[in-house]
Structure 1
Amino acid sequence: MRAFRVAYDGRPYHGFQRQPDVPTVEDAILDALADLDVLASDASTDRARPVPRGYAAAGRTDAGVSALAQTVAFDCPDWLTPRAFNGRLPGSIRAWASTDVDEGFHATHDATSRAYDYHLYAPGADVDRAAAALACVEGTHDFADLTAASDRDTTRTVERATATRDGDLLRIHVRADGFLWELVRRLVSLVHAVAIGDRDLDAVSRTLDPGTIPDHERVGPAPPGPLVLRDVTYPGVTFERDPEAAESARAVFAAANETAVARAATTALLRDGVVEP
């Protein structure tokens, strides 16, 4: 069995998980594996489409969310390297590292922590207030008021939560033993409200005590586009970078970055020009 690190720009996709009639990252991955003829011939009939034996992924990122270290693992032939995988994947999805793992390895259940980064445009935000708000969520808490999921255990342990400034951006980094649906994006909304003074620091403590704030005061999720699945850790598992595959990924995302920078300059001109032509 082999595990692959997969990076992708999530903007063109309706999330990771397969869905009918819309493009998803998982569908693109399975299309590539079908082209490579590595799908199981005896796939379970309860699946929407065939998958390789032992197939699982580290997480189900939402529509528009990107990833650096999404992890997919499955039985495959020795020749299926990240470079070979990329030969059938679309350019916005790149495998860049891999490792052999024991039979029975499960990319979802064997992960001991995941980390996300969110790049928040917040030129007027106080980074110290943001950092103080994030410090409050470290440790084990009930995050029921920071998720859209309410039908399961909502307790999670946040190992690290930090905020650093990069120009007009706040980079919010959160590592935890697991994440609930929209937890990071709702946490970003709460931290932003504290950082710009719309809410006091006590609002974080009240949010971590479910039932103490009315539903209409619960924060909604921040936009998905700036969110990236940064890392997924597995005990005793070390991924080996494939130099050619990693360079392919770097080139693809560098080109996308150049386009985004140019587009940002264009929209800035439009913004400023309507005020002072």
Structure 2
Amino acid sequence: MPTRAFRLAYDGRPYSGFQRQPDVPTVEDVLLAALRDRDVLDEGRDVPPGYAAAGRTDAGVSALAQTVAFEAPDWLSPAALNGALPATVRAWAHADVPDGFHATHDARRRTYRYHLYAPALDDGRARAALDRLSGEGDFHNLTTDDKGTARRLDATCDRDGDFLVLTLSAGGFARHMVRRIAALVRAVGAGESDLDRVDRVLGPDSLDGPAGVPTAPATPLVLADVTYPGVDFTVDPDAAESAREAFADRRVAALTAARVGGDLCDGIE
């Protein structure tokens, strides 16, 4: 069978991350259950041959372009896969890839977006912090990982109403690195930390250490893109429409909950 890569979008809030774990719901659990339902998994196998994912997202983190690849029958389209997936997880594009393709190791670049609620944040200070974080650096003080912490990072932000949207791109990211960057940028933008703190955090002798910069909440984080050299994904129109409808319904539910919360907050004198 050919190896096929699928783009997955999911709302990570109901899940304890992407990767399977004992006794908690994960995105990978529902994906593999869908493959069993479609008889793609042979009896006795936990995963299909060649199976790998672009990365592990933490509990609560969402994705637009999580990528999984495995040996798949020709008929398994994103729409066919969606027929066995819950509304919180949708496949929307696919690409046939060469034998030996590995969704983790062959990824050239990963992009995350962090939706930072920051109505009063100083955008100029936040951008200055991101400028200092951009380029070649060792981010050992922004992760608990003890190796693989050197990266080339591209970091920008855009104001969208009450939110400052951080866009971070690199070949890969250490554990909690994006969320600690978000916390650091928020502290600088709010005037709680001076801009020189960014340089100290990036320095080899910083006293901040991994415990010195908190980990920002997970739910505002989205895995926005994963790029692979020479791989072009084809959007499945039916699957994409199904995904848009599913997430539109969830957006309405979230907006309604926010409205009710605002009513309660504003009504208490």
Shorter-chain TM-score range: over 0.9
The 1:216/1:81 distance shift into structure 2, 3 A limit, reads: closer
Q: Which residue of 2 aligns with 1:21?
A: 23
Question: 1:66 and 2:62 equivalent?
Answer: yes
Q: Which residue of 1 aligns with 2:251?
A: 257
Q: How far apart are residue 213 of structure 1 and its match? A: 2.1
State how many pairs are aligned: 267
Q: Which residue of 1 aligns with 2:13?
A: 11
Question: Whole-Å Cα distance in 2 between the matches of residues 149 and 266 of structure 1?
Answer: 40
Question: Whole-Å Cα distance in 2 between the matches of residues 205 and 136 of structure 1?
Answer: 7
Question: 1:115 and 2:111 equivalent?
Answer: yes
Q: How far apart are residue 148 of structure 1 and its match? A: 2.1
Q: Which residue of 2 aligns with 1:231?
A: 225
Q: Which residue of 1 aligns with 2:137?
A: 141
Q: Which residue of 1 aligns with 2:91?
A: 95
Question: Whole-Å Cα distance in 1 between the matches of residues 243 and 173 of structure 2?
Answer: 26
In structure 2, the gaps of 5 or more residues are: none
Instruction: Decide whether the 8 Å contact of 2:11 with 2:62 is kept in 1.
Output: yes
Q: How far apart are residue 215 of structure 1 and its match? A: 4.3
Question: 1:181 and 2:175 equivalent?
Answer: yes
Quick one: which of 154, 161, 181 aligns to 1:167?
Answer: 161
How far does the alpha carbon of each residue in 1:157-192 deviate from its partner, in whole angstroms, 9 at most, with x for none? 11x211111111110110011001100000000000
Q: How far apart are residue 211 of structure 1 and its match? A: 2.7
Q: Which residue of 2 aligns with 1:31?
A: 33
TM-score by length of 2: 0.96
The 1:143/1:83 distance shift into structure 2, 3 A limit, reads: same
Q: How far apart are residue 140 of structure 1 and its match? A: 1.4
Q: Which residue of 2 aligns with 1:200?
A: 194
Instruction: Decide whether the 8 Å contact of 2:141 with 2:208 is kept in 1.
Output: no
Supply the AA of the counterpart residue of 1:39: L
Q: How far apart are residue 42 of structure 1 and its match? A: 7.0
Question: Whole-Å Cα distance in 1 between the matches of residues 43 and 263 of structure 2?
Answer: 55
Instruction: Decide whether the 8 Å contact of 2:112 with 2:169 is kept in 1.
Output: yes
Q: Which residue of 2 aligns with 1:75?
A: 71
**SS at 2:74's partner residue?**
coil
Quick one: which of 49, 53, 64 aligns to 1:53?
Answer: 49
**SS at 1:265's partner residue?**
helix
Question: Whole-Å Cα distance in 2 between the matches of residues 39 and 140 of structure 1?
Answer: 42
Supply the AA of the counterpart residue of 2:120: G
Question: 1:157 and 2:159 equivalent?
Answer: no
Q: How far apart are residue 269 of structure 1 and its match? A: 1.1
Supply the AA of the counterpart residue of 1:253: F
Supply the AA of the counterpart residue of 1:19: Q
How far does the alpha carbon of each residue in 1:221-245 deviate from its partner, in whole angstroms, 9 at most, with x for none? 1000000000000001110000000
Question: Whole-Å Cα distance in 2 between the matches of residues 207 and 41 of structure 1?
Answer: 50
Supply the AA of the counterpart residue of 1:93: V
Deviates more, 1:122-131 or 1:228-237: 122-131
Instruction: Decide whether the 8 Å contact of 1:40 with 1:53 is kept in 2.
Output: no
Question: Whole-Å Cα distance in 2 between the matches of residues 53 and 9 of structure 1?
Answer: 26
